[in-house]
Structure 1
Amino acid sequence: MGRDKATTLYEGKPLVEHVVAAVRTRCNPVIVVAAPGQPLPELDADIVRDELPGVGPLLATGRGLRAAAEAGRDRAFVCGVDMPLLTADLIDTLAGPAVALDADIVLPWDGRTHYLAGIYRTSLHTRVAELIDAGKRSMRDLVRASDTHQVVMPKQVALTNVNTVDELHSLPPLRIA
């Protein structure tokens, strides 16, 4: 995108605010993992900083899972900051199987796997550390090393993530219920 996704504006608000608002309806605490020194707007969330810049989502996921475990949570919804159309319904759809199947990870599959839109067992933060120590950097590595269940669903607008300014501008307007 050429700029920080978290602070990129969509309908007048930074992307991170849209995501925090959606997650807040189902998750407590809401933890945002930010790069060292990354500026963020004031959020109704706990801000945790990555230890190393530029390592990618696996390290950030591990940091967030560790913070959720320290807050006493067994599972956490993990998502990217670039999902402004995220809904509580998506979280609910994944939470049921996460509890019923007792899987380490429950991810949506709508024609592709969405690694950054799933329910993760918080104790996986130790596995993330082991993977990073072994030189692994991919969310796929964590999923392959864990008991993972994928929920098959039709294509979901809530799973839309934006990687370019053109993608951001092509999003439908938000509907306020």
Structure 2
Amino acid sequence: MHCSPCCVAATPGPSSSPSPDKAVSTLAPLAAVVLAGGASRRMGRDKATLVHPDGGTTMVEHTVSVLGSRCAPVFVIAAPGQPLPELAADVLRDEVRGLGPLLATSRGLRAAAEAGLPRAFVSAVDMPFLSVDLVDELVAYAGVDIVLPWDGRDHYLAGIYRTELAEHIDALVAAGNRSMRALAETVVTQRVVIPASRVLANVNTPADLQQQIAG
């Protein structure tokens, strides 16, 4: 699936003016960080091990497979004791359950930095139509701290982040800020406008999942 033609915007909102940062090649090396340890309260069960709408694999296996075809290494951030299938990824477990996506992002970015990667694609585990095309759309603009897809709202867990932001995240958390929005608002963030597309769809409830299965 290829994303529709896009336009870009720096913080605070989308526009159609700037051109991509040509200093960043679409072939630039990227790590991937998959956040798989969320509470999934609205779904009522672990979303990582939900069966993907194609019926052939779990959501976490699908996400790792898609991102692993473009990114290396791939890190999966999981909850302590969370059962997962065997994955072609490095699984990093939180010491405490339910710390939220910002701290999980920091953990993944730090691991990616230690592996020598300057940037990482950070992804939720519940995006059944995630594609490498989206990653390639965003990486062309990655001469800033964060690049986010925007379709009327920010998609924080489908963006490219500088791995050096891990220390900045730790400072935010120490100051009492634990939201992804707080991170995006305190660094240089570029928004890439992605017209209506299933690529950004996620599944938060059983109804969402059934809708995606039905097509």
Aligned pair 1:114/2:155, yes or no?
yes
CA distance in 1, matches of 2:112, 2:197: 26
CA distance in 2, matches of 1:135, 1:53: 18
Q: Flag the structure with higher helix content.
A: 1
Q: Is the 8 A contact 1:94 1:106 kept in 2?
A: yes
* Of 44, 50, 55, the match for 1:2: 44
Gapped regions of structure 1 (runs ≥ 5): none
CA distance in 2, matches of 1:130, 1:39: 31
After superposition, the C-alpha distances for 1:56-88 in whole angstroms (9 at most, x for unaligned) are 100110000001001100000001001121000
| Amino acid of the structure 1 residue aligned with 2:194 | M
Q: Percent identity?
A: 58
Bigger radius of gyration among the two: 2
Question: Aligned Cα RMSD in Å?
Answer: 1.3
TM-score of the aligned structures, taking structure 1 as reference length: 0.93
Aligned pair 1:104/2:148, yes or no?
no
* Of 31, 50, 70, the match for 2:75: 31
CA distance in 2, matches of 1:147, 1:156: 25
CA distance in 1, matches of 2:214, 2:147: 29
Deviation at 1:173, TM superposition (A): 6.8
Gapped regions of structure 2 (runs ≥ 5): 1-42
Which residue number in structure 2 is paired with residue 93 of structure 1? Answer: 137
**Structure 1 consecutive aligned stretches of length 4 or more whose deviation exceeds 4 Å:** none
- Size of the alignment, in residue pairs? 171
Worse-superposed segment, 163-172 or 75-84: 163-172
After superposition, the C-alpha distances for 1:109-146 in whole angstroms (9 at most, x for unaligned) are 01111000000000001111111111211100111111
| Amino acid of the structure 1 residue aligned with 2:134 | L
1:9-158 aligned at under 5 Å gives the runs 9-10=51-52, 11-98=55-142, 102-158=143-199
